[in-house]
Amino acid sequence: MAEDLHIRFRAGRARLTTALQGAVTILAFTESGRMRRMRLPKRLLVVTSVILLILVAGSTVSILSLFRGQVDLARMAYLERENRSLTSLLEGQAEHLSRLKLEVARLKEFEENLRVVSGLDSQTTPMVGTGQARGARQELPRKR
């Protein structure tokens, strides 16, 4: 099996070597009507073609990576703008929350003062800001 593979490899190499022997003749006609004849070896044409293909592939990869880099930069700029926007929104909400905390503290103080002035029993924890009512609700007289 190994010998068969070796024989096939040598046969393929021999065919390739035979195909690359010789030269290609190029006839070029000038404007004055003269004919020029150039002979280029087949090996030179194959090597030149391979180098050209490698250069085209490398250029394509370079252009695609440049395009990808530009897309990544644009995406980063967008994410940075969104991050700044969300940060400013969060700072505004934090400021609003601190104002609400101050307002709740003032309401608790007002409730305590109102209880003292009205003579109601003073509770240790005010009802404002807890979300729960203490005890049974008293019926208040309705306005007419």
Task: Domain ranges for the chain, please list them.
Answer: 16-118
Three-state DSSP state, 20 = coil
Contact indicator for 19, 4 with CB cutoff of 8 Å: no
Three-state DSSP state, 128 = coil
**Which run of H or E residues covers position 55?**
helix 42-118
On average, the pLDDT of the chain sits at: 85
Q: What is the pTM of this model?
A: 0.49
Rounded Cα distance between 44 and 21, Å, is 10
Rounded Cα distance between 36 and 22, Å, is 19
Contact indicator for 129, 108 with CB cutoff of 8 Å: yes
pLDDT average, residue stretch 68-97:
97
Rounded Cα distance between 115 and 132, Å, is 17
pLDDT average, residue stretch 5-16:
80
**Residue 36, CB-side half-sphere exposure with 13 Å CA sphere:** 6
Q: Judge whether residue 86 has pLDDT over 90.
A: yes
Q: Judge whether residue 136 has pLDDT over 80.
A: no
